[in-house]
Structure 1
């Protein structure tokens, strides 16, 4: 399965903690951890400082506590844990699926699951809030009329779901409208 993976498994850029203005890149490939830095300073002693780079194999990175500490200080403990997982061969194949495939999968989830998933990463937050997802959900919840499409163009499909489609879906699940239940 690892052969399905692209050469670059993960990449992140960031600035060092204040008061540093230095920039850093962390690149994880199939075989290496590459850590690059660029010193940014107006001080005369640092103006001629060249960018630096450290390359380690996955196995060597797992034993290099100095590099691990640098990564944790700059990018945080969560990123360090993620890099450890990649170096140990724990790949997140769900994150590697295309947006179109993920939108199809997400459209089958319960609302609570969509809300939880949106909190896991920036990518899933974007997908869980996307009009493409909510259009699919609305279309499965109720029949979409041309007027609904026009309104969704103005207010968005997510808002459309919570104002129009979800109440219709609840009536459908409970066996009719409020008036029908009273009769």
Structure 2
């Protein structure tokens, strides 16, 4: 009997151990199911994050591309602006040169007008002198020469010399 009691006690103990083992296995299985669900949720979350990462990288690449195009347009605009500034500077220099030449030309024109007025004021008395000379001057000059004492003496000397040399 002691053997039977021992076997019954062992069977009871074994039965309790089995219950505890089953409880532990069920608890372990529950924990594993929860962990598996967590792992599956995490896998889903990882896939979602991978998609978000891919989308973010695509957006980043697009933003970089857009920024590079913007920088290129900005550089091109800067180059065009510099070219326009140089062109404007050249136009300003040309304008200044044209203004200088215009000023010089205006001064020459003013000097020319002054010279013309001066010449006209000098021409009028000369014209008057020419007219006087034509009407009165030539006659007066001829009379002065003909009535000149020096001329009379020279002509007389010439005649005397011509007679001495046998010229009539």
Fold-level match, TM-score > 0.5? Answer: no
TM score, norm. by length of structure 2: 0.18
The structure whose residues are more often strand, as a share, is 1
Report which of the two structures shows the higher radius of gyration computed on alpha carbons: 2
